[in-house]
A and B are shown apart, each in its own frame.
Chain A
């Protein structure tokens, strides 16, 4: 039988800030971005007691908790803490999967003997993280990732829950389906309309009907209801190749001027192109995403004649898409991504001008690698309006400690 351990850092960003600043310890704090229209990225447990939640804007959060202290997040601190935690975890098992910046799965099958038991190993993990990074975590241990994640959610903060094979049916029988990892509000609602509200009901539901309603995931849902989950721990560095490289940004104010929108698109195209070039990736499709102030979001895609990671080619394709759009209002968010990704492909430059363009990008990337991002950048971005390179990004859920998914946000 496999044994999977799930580590979930408790209110991660807020805990790091409380660790840094003793005056914040024990107080309700909310970590927010540096942008004006930012939302709460993490609230401390003291703030959660007042109903402060991730995604609330400053006004909503302050209304829920008048004594709330807002702290502008520092992503570098969190990335560093996450990498240090993963280094600790790797001393317990070589099979460590970084699921997000504050969550990891470890396959601890065959790793128990120095600790006597799974509980002993989990307590050692908690102790090492507390000693070396100064933070607490909740740990769940179970025969698979689905149940390990469920277990770590059952006791917070600083919890430890072990689900053994024999206890699974009893645990799942009356458990609401939305407690399971991957079953969100819409799926829960859909299942509810079919009379399925608990995992026990889901596990017994006819597979044929689930397949008919949900397609290929129907069968998997039934197995999840029974606590069966086949996805294995994917060690760091062995993740499948990225399918796309993308960046998006929420604008400091809703913008309708095309000239300013174009500057942001250039900046995003440079971020995408630079990251793709750093990892030797090229893409054949460029996608532009636009969000209106009412949060209506849509994307349009353009297929290129050949694979590229050239900022200007990405920018030109994104502009082509923009020009074909009829924006009905100002824009709240913009995103650019490159997909159809392949490694080590593309034509050799035939003309002198193309070769010079390639060399220019190589030179820019080399300078920026040595002296920091945006040391050399496009003249258009030096003007006011697109934020240069100084704004604080948000750490994506897809962030990983190595490879193309390691995005260095400030």
Chain B
């Protein structure tokens, strides 16, 4: 069962014909993303939000990038 988190995080991402997160730091640990399993977008008011379902090979995380505020957050993990 996914655990809801909603915390701001720092992410290393490649911006080239889209956005691809590569690594992220959360609660003092660095996670290397081995696979972006799915991406989707949504809107929050006028802000466009990109969602990334990613795995480090052990756990699954949902990372979120708010294109208006240019902030990354982690929304869930399991």
Interface string of A68-84 (1 = CB under 8 A from B): 00001000110111000
Whether the pair B45, A21 counts as a contact (CB closer than 8 A) is: no
- Bound-state CA distance A22–B44 (Å) is 28
Contacts of A371 in B (CB 8 A): 44-46
Task: Tell me which residues from 1 to 42 in chain B have a Cβ below 8 Å from any Cβ of chain A.
Answer: 2, 35, 37-38, 40-42
Dominant SS at the A interface?
A: helix
B37 close to A19 (CB less than 8 A): yes
Q: Is the interface of B mostly helix, strand, loop or mixed?
A: strand
Verify B45–A370 contact, CB threshold 8 A. Answer: yes
Q: Which residues on B sit within 8 Å (CB–CB) of A325? A: none
Interface: A369 (CB within 8 A) = yes
Inter-chain contact B55/A369, CB cutoff 8 Å: no
Closest B residue to A72 using CB positions: B2
Count class of interface residues, chain B = 10 to 19
* Contact indicator per residue, chain A 1-37, by CB within 8 Å of chain B (1) or not (0): 0000000000000001001111100000000000000
CB distance from A80 to the nearest CB of B (A): 4
Hey, which chain B residues are within 8 Å of A77, CB to CB? 38, 40, 51
User: Which B residues lie within 8 Å of A20 (CB)?
Assistant: 37-38, 53, 60
Contacts A369-B46, A370-B46 hold; do A22 and B41 have CB atoms under 8 A apart? Answer: no
A22 touches B35 (CB 8 A): yes
Cβ-defined contact, B60 with A23, below 8 A: yes
- Contact between B40 and A21, CB atoms less than 8 A apart: no
Contact pick for B42, options A76, A134, A375, CB 8 Å: A76
Q: Cβ of B35: which chain A residues have Cβ within 8 Å of it?
A: 22
A256 contacts partner chain B, Cβ-Cβ < 8 Å: no
Contact assessment for B45 and A134 in the assembled complex, using a CB-CB cutoff below 8 Å: no
Least Cβ distance of B55 to chain A in Å?
7
B51 contacts A19, C-beta separation under 8 Å: no
Rounded to whole angstroms, the CA-CA distance of A371 and B46 in the bound complex is: 6
Count chain B CB atoms within 10 A of each CB in A77, A79, A369 and give the residue with the most: A77
Q: Which residue of B lies closest to A77 (CB)?
A: B40
Could you say which residues of chain A place their CB within 8 Å of the CB of B55? Answer: 22
The CA-CA distance from A77 to B53 in the complex, in Å, is 10
Known: A22-B55, A369-B46. A80 touches B37 (CB 8 A): no
A182 to chain B, nearest CB (A): 32
Q: Which of A22, A76, A372 contacts B45 (CB 8 A)?
A: A372
Question: Which A-B residue pairs are the 6 nearest by beta carbons?
Answer: A80-B40, A372-B45, A20-B53, A20-B38, A371-B45, A76-B42
Residue positions of A touching B, CB distance < 8 A? 16, 19-23, 72, 76-77, 79-81, 134, 368-373, 375, 408
What would 26 A/B residue contacts be, using CB atoms closer than 8 Å?
A19-B37, A19-B38, A20-B37, A20-B38, A20-B53, A20-B60, A21-B37, A21-B60, A22-B35, A22-B60, A72-B2, A76-B40, A76-B51, A77-B40, A77-B51, A79-B42, A80-B40, A80-B41, A80-B42, A134-B38, A368-B45, A370-B45, A371-B44, A371-B46, A372-B44, A372-B47
